[in-house]
């Protein structure tokens, strides 16, 4: 096999072991450790004007540094670069790509350039730059979706610029780290204006062995002010064991009547209650609209300069928030103490717009069903115009950040946006979703949502690890699922939640159920009592038990998935304080629209980073794009059927 030597970008060397180019090194917006021991660190900046990523790599070695971007942390399909400074102070760079767990191949098109390079008695520093999209089929386009930085280092220089001289890094000098590559800098307290103040609160929990998952809720009081203040961002402060055992923290605004809020003061001196149990006080249920959403792996959030979230229900009076902390103890360790804090940044210098936050997605009820052994299973949740018209002004709202959330089976999440019979580009997409890294995504362009629009969240799951039982919606990080998204926007409206779930009639048909006893809870039901079938259950059989008895191998899973994801749903629309926007839940359907088509990138060799190859099979099937005649017939049948049903 021919060995191709990459042309080097060697610039004027200043001193024996240093390099300076004509490029001005920017101020980096992100800093992180790559390895657990702190030997290898990275700083980076997404330069939107030059459309390139600039990274600074610093490692405790006088050998070579490896850095790459991967969708899943593996070498196969990864985009990599190797760089070093030899003993004469001469820098080298190799553009490479991974084909498996072996020496990466050299890319014939070198797209990395050196901005600075230096080496001293203990460390090597390389500052490199690469375009977001290189038109190189061996390169990954850099997008604002979940990726993993992969890294490695060696103790010896490869010498001349030949790939075969690159010695193996060994089992320890390698790893990966999650990242949103193109995000603005998060709030840290060090990069905020002088008028910004900090409100710190946190939690302390001792985890018991018998609890593999625990939701804990407590009430906190905001700083008392005579005038309104704006929340503009937060920073997560990890303490003892929180990196391992804390899954997420959500802070909900308690925005009921001010007199009702006063009752919450009695709870501020209490240690809290287990969430969503009989022991949780009823007063906690008025706390619905999310202020802060943090989940495992995430950094802090920072609002745009012109928007701030009003922190006080009413200036001069007490304002309270509900803190929901989810502790995840999968190892079943005993007596582990977990500490954490959150810094809330606020200002008395009010910004131009009041901001808000509302929840969309699949309702948390048992209608959310993910069968076992499915490579792709699609669920959806609708926020229809019937809900948006109740709360949105005629000029609409502007969404500027989106937080996508699923559990361990989640693989791809997308927020779809419909208007006037046409689908707009997706509001947010993560085709590399990973439960261990959940970060709010700042939209490249704010998205206007009008009262006549329709928003749908779709979640694609891989349940091949689940061999027997169905996975239902629920709060446990492992064994239960969610399909949710928080939309941060301005100007502020009274909405807190806009979700949906399959209509009970769909569940009856799919799972051969005659009657639900409680359709809201979907917990027990009366079954069909046909005399000719003695195997049908008696009245009061548990819904979950009945569904788990299904023989999935004998069912047309394409049909079942289509009915549940694309059939009629019941919408749940709540205003702040948990107030329903409708007396009865409206029946909503997936909008009849011209679907958005991902356009090919300008480079002939590349598709759009979330183009056809990035869409799941379930997504293609749900849009009628599968090369499957039987599915197409099913799709046509249900489009006609549901157009005239449940009106």
398-447 pLDDT, tens digit each: 999 999 999 989 999 999 999 999 999 999 998 888 887 778 888 888 99
Position 426 scores a pLDDT of 95
The CA distance from 582 to 501, in Å, is 16
By mean pLDDT, which of 160-164, 230-234, 351-355, 508-512 is the weakest?
160-164
CA distances, 305 to each of 194, 232, 290, 352, 353 (Å): 14, 8, 20, 9, 10
By mean pLDDT, which of 55-69, 245-259, 546-560 is the weakest?
245-259
Query: For 613, phi and psi rounded to 5 degrees?
Result: -70, -20
| Reported confidence tier of residue 114, pLDDT bands at 50, 70, 90 | very high
Overall pTM surpassing 0.85 (yes/no): no
| Reported confidence tier of residue 550, pLDDT bands at 50, 70, 90 | confident
Tens-place pLDDT, residues 633-643: 333 333 333 33
Tens-place pLDDT, residues 583-611: 778 899 999 899 988 766 566 443 333 33
The CA distance from 502 to 525, in Å, is 16
The CA distance from 296 to 424, in Å, is 31
Tens-place pLDDT, residues 11-60: 333 333 455 454 567 788 887 778 877 789 888 988 888 899 999 999 99
% residues pLDDT > 90 (the chain): 42
The CA distance from 162 to 91, in Å, is 14
All domains of the chain, ordered by start, with CATH?
18-180 (2.60.40.1210), 185-352 (2.60.120.310), 355-647 (2.60.120.230)
Cβ atoms of 14 and 7 within 8 Å: the answer is no
Query: For 557, phi and psi rounded to 5 degrees?
Result: -70, -30
Query: For 220, phi and psi rounded to 5 degrees?
Result: -125, 160
Closest CA to 14 of 94, 90, 86: 90
Q: For the chain, what is the largest distance between any 2 Cα atoms, rounded to a whole number of angstroms?
A: 93
Residues 56-77 have a mean pLDDT of: 88
Tell me the pLDDT of the chain averaged across its residues. 81
What contacts 2, CB < 8 A, 6 or more positions away?
A: none
Closest CA to 187 of 178, 177, 179, 197: 197
Cβ neighbours around 269 below 10 Å, total: 7
Position 162 scores a pLDDT of 58
Cα angle 166, 168, 171 (rounded to 5 degrees) comes to 155
Tens-place pLDDT, residues 521-530: 665 655 443 4
Position 363 scores a pLDDT of 93
Point out which residues pair with 310 in neighbouring strands.
230
Tell me the DSSP string of 533-598. Answer: -TTS--TTEEHHHHHHT--GGGS-HHHHHHHHHHS-EEEEEEETTTEESSSSPPEE-----B---P
The CA distance from 444 to 430, in Å, is 14
Position 527 scores a pLDDT of 47
% residues pLDDT > 70 (the chain): 80
Cβ atoms of 320 and 268 within 8 Å: the answer is yes
Tens-place pLDDT, residues 266-275: 899 888 999 9
Cβ atoms of 460 and 377 within 8 Å: the answer is yes
């Amino acid at each position: 096999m021919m060995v191709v030597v990459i042309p080097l970008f060697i610039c004027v060397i200043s001193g024996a072991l240093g390099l300076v180019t004509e490029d001005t090194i920017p101020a980096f917006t992100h800093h992180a450790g790559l390895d657990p021991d702190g030997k290898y660190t990275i700083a980076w900046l997404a330069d939107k004007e030059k459309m390139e990523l600039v990274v600074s790599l610093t490692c405790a070695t006088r050998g070579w540094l490896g850095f790459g971007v991967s969708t899943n942390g593996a070498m196969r399909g990864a985009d990599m670069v190797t760089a070093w400074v030899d003993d004469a102070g001469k820098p080298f760079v190799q553009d490479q790509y991974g084909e498996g767990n072996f020496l990466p191949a050299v890319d014939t098109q070198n797209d990395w350039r050196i901005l600075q390079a230096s080496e001293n008695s203990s460390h090597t520093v390389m500052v490199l730059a690469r375009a977001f999209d290189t038109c190189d089929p061996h390169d990954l386009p850099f997008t604002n979706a979940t990726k993993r930085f992969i890294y490695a280092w060696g103790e010896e220089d490869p010498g001349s610029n030949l790939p075969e001289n690159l010695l193996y890094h060994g089992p320890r000098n390698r790893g990966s780290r999650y990242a949103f590559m193109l995000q603005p800098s998060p709030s840290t307290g060090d990069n905020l204006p002088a008028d910004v103040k900090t409100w710190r609160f946190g939690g302390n929990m001792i985890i018991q062995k018998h609890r593999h998952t625990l939701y804990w809720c407590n009430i906190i009081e905001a700083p008392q002010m005579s005038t309104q203040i704006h929340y503009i961002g937060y920073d997560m402060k990890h303490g003892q064991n929180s990196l391992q055992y804390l899954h997420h923290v959500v802070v909900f605004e308690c925005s009921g009547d001010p007199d009702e809020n006063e009752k919450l003061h009695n709870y501020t001196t209490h240690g809290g209650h287990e969430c969503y149990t009989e022991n949780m006080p009823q007063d906690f249920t008025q706390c619905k609209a999310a202020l802060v959403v943090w989940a495992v792996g995430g950094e802090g959030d920072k609002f745009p300069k012109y928007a701030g979230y009003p922190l006080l229900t009413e200036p001069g009076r007490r304002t309270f928030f509900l803190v929901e902390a989810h502790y995840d103890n999968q190892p079943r360790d005993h007596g582990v103490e977990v500490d954490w804090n959150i810094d809330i940044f606020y200002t008395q210098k009010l910004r131009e717009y009041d901001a808000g936050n509302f929840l969309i997605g699949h309702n948390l009820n048992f209608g959310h069903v993910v069968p076992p052994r499915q490579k792709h299973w699609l669920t959806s949740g609708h926020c229809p115009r019937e809900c948006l018209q109740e709360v949105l002004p005629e000029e609409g709202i502007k969404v500027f950040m989106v937080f996508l959330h699923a559990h361990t089976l989640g693989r791809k999440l997308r927020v779809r946006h419909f208007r006037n019979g046409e689908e707009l580009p997706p509001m947010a997409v993560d085709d590399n979703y990973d439960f261990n890294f959940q970060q709010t995504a700042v939209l490249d362009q704010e998205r206007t949502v009008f009262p006549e629009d329709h928003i749908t969240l779709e979640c694609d799951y891989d349940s091949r690890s689940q061999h027997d039982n169905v996975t239902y919606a629920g709060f446990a990080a492992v064994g239960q699922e969610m399909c949710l998204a928080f939309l941060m926007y301005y100007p502020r409206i009274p909405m807190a939640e806009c979700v949906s779930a399959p209509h009970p009639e769909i569940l009856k048909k799919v799972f051969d159920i005659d009657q639900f006893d409680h359709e809201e809870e979907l917990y027990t039901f009366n079954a069909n009592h046909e005399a000719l079938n003695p195997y049908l259950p008696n009245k009061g059989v548990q819904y979950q038990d009945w569904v788990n008895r299904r023989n999935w191998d004998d069912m047309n899973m394409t049909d079942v998935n289509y009915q549940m994801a694309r059939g009629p749903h019941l919408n749940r629309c709540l205003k702040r304080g948990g107030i329903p926007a409708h007396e009865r839940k409206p029946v909503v359907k997936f909008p009849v629209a011209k679907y958005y088509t991902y356009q090919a990138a300008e480079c002939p060799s590349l598709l759009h980073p979330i183009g056809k190859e990035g869409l799941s099979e379930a997504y293609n099937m749900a849009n009628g794009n599968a090369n499957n005649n039987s599915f197409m017939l099913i799709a046509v049948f249900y489009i006609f059927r549901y157009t005239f049903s449940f009106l």
